[in-house]
Amino acid sequence: MTDLSHLLSLLHRVKDPEIPAISVVELGVVRGVDVDADGKAIVTITPTYTGCPAMDVMAADIKKELLEGGVPSVEVKLSLSPAWTTDWITEEGRRKLKEYGIAPPEKTADIRALKGEQPVVPCPQCGSTNTVMLSAFGSTACKALWKCNACLEPFDQFKCL
Protein backbone atom coordinates (compact mmCIF):
# COMPACT_ATOMS: atom_id res chain seq x y z
CA MET A 1 0.00 0.00 0.00
CA THR A 2 1.32 3.43 -0.95
CA ASP A 3 1.54 5.76 2.06
CA LEU A 4 0.32 9.38 1.63
CA SER A 5 3.20 10.80 3.68
CA HIS A 6 5.65 8.97 1.39
CA LEU A 7 3.88 10.44 -1.65
CA LEU A 8 4.07 13.95 -0.21
CA SER A 9 7.77 13.59 0.58
CA LEU A 10 8.37 12.50 -3.02
CA LEU A 11 6.28 15.39 -4.37
CA HIS A 12 8.38 17.87 -2.37
CA ARG A 13 11.34 16.75 -4.53
CA VAL A 14 9.59 17.79 -7.76
CA LYS A 15 10.69 21.32 -8.61
CA ASP A 16 8.92 23.91 -10.71
CA PRO A 17 10.80 23.74 -14.05
CA GLU A 18 10.74 27.54 -14.32
CA ILE A 19 11.72 28.19 -10.67
CA PRO A 20 13.89 25.26 -9.52
CA ALA A 21 14.17 26.67 -5.99
CA ILE A 22 10.56 25.78 -5.18
CA SER A 23 8.66 22.49 -5.25
CA VAL A 24 5.31 21.96 -6.92
CA VAL A 25 3.85 21.43 -3.44
CA GLU A 26 5.28 24.74 -2.13
CA LEU A 27 4.02 26.49 -5.27
CA GLY A 28 0.53 25.18 -4.52
CA VAL A 29 -0.09 23.49 -7.87
CA VAL A 30 -0.55 20.10 -6.19
CA ARG A 31 -4.22 20.24 -5.17
CA GLY A 32 -4.80 16.65 -4.17
CA VAL A 33 -3.08 13.35 -3.57
CA ASP A 34 -4.99 10.10 -3.27
CA VAL A 35 -4.37 6.39 -3.55
CA ASP A 36 -6.96 4.07 -5.10
CA ALA A 37 -7.71 0.49 -4.01
CA ASP A 38 -5.10 -0.88 -6.44
CA GLY A 39 -2.33 1.32 -4.98
CA LYS A 40 -2.29 3.79 -7.86
CA ALA A 41 -1.33 7.32 -6.81
CA ILE A 42 -3.63 9.99 -8.21
CA VAL A 43 -2.15 13.48 -8.09
CA THR A 44 -4.32 16.46 -9.04
CA ILE A 45 -2.55 19.61 -10.20
CA THR A 46 -3.80 23.08 -11.12
CA PRO A 47 -1.86 25.37 -13.48
CA THR A 48 -0.73 28.77 -12.26
CA TYR A 49 -2.55 30.17 -15.28
CA THR A 50 -4.44 28.67 -18.20
CA GLY A 51 -2.05 27.51 -20.87
CA CYS A 52 1.00 27.39 -18.58
CA PRO A 53 3.65 25.59 -20.66
CA ALA A 54 5.31 24.15 -17.56
CA MET A 55 2.33 21.93 -16.66
CA ASP A 56 3.29 19.10 -19.03
CA VAL A 57 6.81 19.08 -17.61
CA MET A 58 5.46 19.17 -14.04
CA ALA A 59 3.12 16.25 -14.74
CA ALA A 60 5.94 14.22 -16.31
CA ASP A 61 8.30 15.06 -13.42
CA ILE A 62 5.67 14.09 -10.84
CA LYS A 63 5.05 10.77 -12.55
CA LYS A 64 8.78 10.06 -12.88
CA GLU A 65 9.58 10.94 -9.25
CA LEU A 66 6.77 8.83 -7.84
CA LEU A 67 7.53 5.83 -10.04
CA GLU A 68 11.24 6.02 -9.16
CA GLY A 69 10.20 6.35 -5.50
CA GLY A 70 8.53 2.96 -5.60
CA VAL A 71 4.93 3.92 -6.35
CA PRO A 72 3.58 1.15 -8.60
CA SER A 73 1.29 3.31 -10.74
CA VAL A 74 0.72 7.06 -11.09
CA GLU A 75 -1.98 9.18 -12.69
CA VAL A 76 -1.68 12.96 -12.88
CA LYS A 77 -4.96 14.83 -13.35
CA LEU A 78 -5.30 18.45 -14.40
CA SER A 79 -7.95 20.53 -12.64
CA LEU A 80 -8.82 24.05 -13.77
CA SER A 81 -11.36 24.72 -11.04
CA PRO A 82 -10.97 26.31 -8.67
CA ALA A 83 -8.42 28.49 -10.42
CA TRP A 84 -4.95 28.60 -8.89
CA THR A 85 -4.19 31.57 -6.68
CA THR A 86 -0.95 32.88 -5.21
CA ASP A 87 -2.61 32.36 -1.82
CA TRP A 88 -1.80 28.67 -2.33
CA ILE A 89 1.97 29.30 -2.24
CA THR A 90 3.19 28.08 1.14
CA GLU A 91 5.13 30.29 3.56
CA GLU A 92 8.18 28.12 2.88
CA GLY A 93 7.61 28.65 -0.85
CA ARG A 94 7.44 32.42 -0.37
CA ARG A 95 10.67 32.35 1.60
CA LYS A 96 12.39 30.28 -1.09
CA LEU A 97 11.15 32.58 -3.86
CA LYS A 98 12.68 35.56 -2.07
CA GLU A 99 15.97 33.73 -1.48
CA TYR A 100 16.02 32.83 -5.18
CA GLY A 101 15.67 36.52 -6.09
CA ILE A 102 11.97 36.61 -6.96
CA ALA A 103 9.73 38.91 -4.95
CA PRO A 104 6.92 36.76 -3.60
CA PRO A 105 3.35 37.93 -4.10
CA GLU A 106 1.60 39.78 -1.33
CA LYS A 107 -0.94 37.72 0.59
CA THR A 108 -3.80 40.07 -0.28
CA ALA A 109 -4.57 42.63 -2.94
CA ASP A 110 -3.16 46.09 -2.27
CA ILE A 111 -5.68 48.97 -2.03
CA ARG A 112 -3.45 50.94 -4.40
CA ALA A 113 -4.53 48.59 -7.20
CA LEU A 114 -8.09 49.87 -6.86
CA LYS A 115 -6.80 53.43 -7.24
CA GLY A 116 -4.67 52.60 -10.27
CA GLU A 117 -1.43 52.97 -8.31
CA GLN A 118 1.43 50.50 -8.29
CA PRO A 119 1.84 48.29 -5.23
CA VAL A 120 4.94 48.54 -3.07
CA VAL A 121 7.17 45.57 -3.90
CA PRO A 122 10.28 45.15 -1.73
CA CYS A 123 13.49 44.21 -3.54
CA PRO A 124 14.38 40.57 -2.79
CA GLN A 125 18.09 41.49 -3.00
CA CYS A 126 18.39 44.42 -0.57
CA GLY A 127 14.89 44.83 0.90
CA SER A 128 14.40 48.40 -0.32
CA THR A 129 10.87 49.48 -1.21
CA ASN A 130 12.27 52.07 -3.64
CA THR A 131 11.33 49.88 -6.61
CA VAL A 132 9.59 50.39 -9.93
CA MET A 133 7.84 48.02 -12.32
CA LEU A 134 9.56 47.95 -15.71
CA SER A 135 7.08 45.61 -17.36
CA ALA A 136 3.92 43.76 -16.34
CA PHE A 137 5.44 40.80 -18.15
CA GLY A 138 8.60 39.23 -16.76
CA SER A 139 10.56 36.11 -17.62
CA THR A 140 7.32 34.11 -17.58
CA ALA A 141 3.67 35.12 -17.86
CA CYS A 142 3.14 34.69 -14.11
CA LYS A 143 5.84 37.22 -13.21
CA ALA A 144 6.37 40.97 -13.66
CA LEU A 145 9.76 42.65 -14.18
CA TRP A 146 10.84 45.19 -11.55
CA LYS A 147 13.97 47.23 -10.81
CA CYS A 148 15.31 48.37 -7.47
CA ASN A 149 16.38 52.02 -7.42
CA ALA A 150 18.54 51.42 -4.34
CA CYS A 151 20.75 48.51 -5.46
CA LEU A 152 19.91 48.93 -9.19
CA GLU A 153 19.20 45.21 -9.59
CA PRO A 154 16.34 44.00 -11.79
CA PHE A 155 14.12 41.28 -10.34
CA ASP A 156 10.97 39.31 -11.07
CA GLN A 157 7.89 39.55 -8.91
CA PHE A 158 5.42 36.70 -8.79
CA LYS A 159 2.13 38.31 -9.79
CA CYS A 160 -0.69 38.20 -7.28
CA LEU A 161 -3.49 36.13 -8.81
Residue 19 sits in a domain whose CATH number is: 3.30.300.130
Query: Are residue 78 and residue 8 in the same domain, yes or no?
Result: yes
In a domain, 127, yes or no: yes
Average pLDDT over residues 67-75: 95
Query: Are residue 113 and residue 148 in the same domain, yes or no?
Result: yes
Average pLDDT over residues 113-122: 71
Q: Using pLDDT thresholds of 50, 70 and 90, give the confidence band for residue 113.
A: low
In a domain, 143, yes or no: yes
Could you tell me the pTM of the whole model? 0.81
Look at the chain and report how many structural domains it folds into: 2
Q: Using pLDDT thresholds of 50, 70 and 90, give the confidence band for residue 24.
A: very high
Say which residue, 11 or 114, is predicted with more confidence. Answer: 11
Query: Are residue 108 and residue 82 in the same domain, yes or no?
Result: no
Q: Which of 86, 85, 84, 66 is nearest to 14 (CA)?
A: 66
Residue 130: what pLDDT?
95
Residue 115: what pLDDT?
60
Lowest mean pLDDT among 23-27, 68-72, 103-107, 109-113: 109-113
Query: Are residue 109 and residue 143 in the same domain, yes or no?
Result: yes
Write out the residue range of the structural domain in which residue 136 sits: 101-158
Q: Using pLDDT thresholds of 50, 70 and 90, give the confidence band for residue 138.
A: confident
